[in-house]
Amino acid sequence: MHLKKPQEVLLLGPGPSPVHPRVLEAMGQHTLGHLDPDFFQIMDQTNNLLRLVFETKNRITFPVSATGSAGMEAALVNILEPGDKAVIGVNGVFGQRMVDVASRCGAEVIEVDAEWGRPIDPELLEKTLSAQSKVKLVGVVHAETSTGVQQPLEPVVDVVRKFDALLLVDAVTSLGGLPVAVDRRDLDIVYSGNQKCLGAPPGLAPITFGERALEKFQERKSKVQSWYLDLSFLTRYWGEERFYHHTAPINMIYALFEALSMIKEEGLEDRFARHSLHSKALIAGLKALGVNTVVSEQHRLPSLNAVWIPEGIDDAQLRSSLRRDHLIEIGGGLGPFKGKVWRIGLMGNGSRRENVERLLKALSEILNNLGHKCSGEEALSEAGKIYQ
């Protein structure tokens, strides 16, 4: 191998999350053809495992052959046509991205804003929808990776169902780490990414479309602007017909299959509990270090913990020392949070006690070096109380 062996950096940023050796081993298996009968079986099994994780019976459930953001684009280009109206909740980078992508479909986009660090207010959403006619789609981000906010979905569904609109949910940083529950919550279109709570390397965007969304798709008057993401082709390849569209990223699908198998083995409930537990321990430990969360407890994501950088600490200096001296990656802030916030991911295979403790130790060491006095022992003790 000529590639310089990558260092084993512990990935506790906003994704990618640490990939289990089993998943890497699966990815490195012999490449089958994209029209091979054995590969068709793997496709079917992968889709079944995705249905399990999405908690849906949706027929149209498959991984889009590109990264998470292409899942967002696939959802929007297949539904929105020029002149359609979309209402998008914006409380961070990914809501803003949805606005951008929807606008590029020629849709009229109405934003429902909330402060960064807070969820979208369902009452404001209802007010906005009431003031509009014929809104085709409402989009919200379940897990805002830029702020660590978890959007409560039930109140949003309740509002949207009062209108004849589809509900699109970005579950990139939630699927596999906290309940998305597509069918129980009656969500119309949901997409995610491989590299967060699912625990596979980046490269695929699992997506699911419910019947209501497919009806709207059938009613389209114009062609989908993206050939690559056109659902009418994708469903023919991923469905029984196996009609050639593009060459699927075979080995990425092996990896996703294996990561999903590991989720099935662990069980969804246990996995959600694990994500919740380690996030709580991390936050308790960080608090002891004088590092406080951005989001109130009620709306906190277990998978992505946004915290305020203590006063006087240089963001870049700390993160580069953490990466260089301790081989740990955490994320910096985006947009208005740049230089002010760290984003600490405990996702998938990364959500483990040893990782929480390793990070707390490393952080306390560097913080002390940079003049922010704090006790690593106390942090570990506070985290330990959560584990009792």
Q: Looking at residues 64 to 103 of the shown chain, list those that interact with a second copy (rule: CB under 8 A).
A: 65-70, 73, 97, 100-101, 103
Binding mask 314-353 for a second copy (x = CB under 8 A): ---------x-----x----x-------------------
Stretch that binds a second copy, among 54-62, 108-116, 257-265, 300-308 (CB under 8 A): 257-265
Stretch that binds a second copy, among 175-183, 207-215, 258-266, 276-284 (CB under 8 A): 258-266
Nearest C-alpha neighbor of 149 from the set 301, 14, 283, 276: 301
Stretch that binds a second copy, among 175-183, 195-203, 209-217, 371-379 (CB under 8 A): 195-203
Q: Which is nearer to a second copy, 252 or 307 (CB)?
A: 252
What is the footprint of a second copy within residues 135-194 (CB under 8 A)? 193
Q: Which is nearer to a second copy, 252 or 363 (CB)?
A: 252
Shortest Å, Cβ 129 to a second copy: 25
What is the footprint of a second copy within residues 30-69 (CB under 8 A)? 30-39, 42, 65-69
Shortest Å, Cβ 386 to a second copy: 27
**Coil, strand, or helix at residue 332?**
strand
Q: Which is nearer to a second copy, 212 or 352 (CB)?
A: 352
Q: Which is nearer to a second copy, 21 or 312 (CB)?
A: 21
Stretch that binds a second copy, among 13-21, 161-169, 173-181, 310-318 (CB under 8 A): 13-21
**Coil, strand, or helix at residue 113?**
strand
Shortest Å, Cβ 37 to a second copy: 8
Binding mask 264-293 for a second copy (x = CB under 8 A): -x----------------------------
Cα–Cα distance, 77 to 61 (Å, whole number): 17
Cα–Cα distance, 64 to 47 (Å, whole number): 11
Contacting residue, 144, 170, 188, 258, with a second copy by CB under 8 A: 258
18 DSSP 8-state letter: P
Q: Locate 155 and state its tokens.
A: 């109140």
Nearest C-alpha neighbor of 255 from the set 301, 304, 193: 193
What is the footprint of a second copy within residues 348-387 (CB under 8 A)? none
Cα–Cα distance, 12 to 358 (Å, whole number): 11
Shortest Å, Cβ 101 to a second copy: 5
CB 292 within 8 A of CB 67: no
Q: Which is nearer to a second copy, 300 or 319 (CB)?
A: 319
Cross-sheet strand order for the sheet of 341-345: 304-308, 341-345, 331-332
- In the chain, the N- to C-terminal Cα span, in Å, equals 45
Q: Which is nearer to a second copy, 225 or 375 (CB)?
A: 225
Cα–Cα distance, 94 to 168 (Å, whole number): 13
User: Which helix (DSSP H) or strand (DSSP E) does residue 90 occupy?
Assistant: strand 85-90
What is the footprint of a second copy within residues 196-255 (CB under 8 A)? 201-203, 223-228, 244-252, 254-255
Contacting residue, 11, 140, 175, 366, with a second copy by CB under 8 A: 11
Cα–Cα distance, 247 to 353 (Å, whole number): 40
15: alpha, beta or left, given left = phi > 0 and alpha = psi -120 to 50?
A: left
Q: Locate 213 and state its tokens.
A: 């969304």
Q: Which is nearer to a second copy, 128 or 194 (CB)?
A: 194
Contacting residue, 13, 92, 139, 177, with a second copy by CB under 8 A: 13
304 near a second copy, rule: CB under 8 A: no
Instruction: Please give the single-letter amino acid code of residue 31.
Output: T
294: alpha, beta or left, given left = phi > 0 and alpha = psi -120 to 50?
A: alpha
Shortest Å, Cβ 122 to a second copy: 27
Cα–Cα distance, 35 to 279 (Å, whole number): 42
**Coil, strand, or helix at residue 138?**
strand
Q: How many residues bind a second copy (CB under 8 A)?
A: 76
Q: Which is nearer to a second copy, 40 or 179 (CB)?
A: 40
User: Which helix (DSSP H) or strand (DSSP E) does residue 274 occupy?
Assistant: helix 268-288
Q: Which is nearer to a second copy, 42 or 386 (CB)?
A: 42
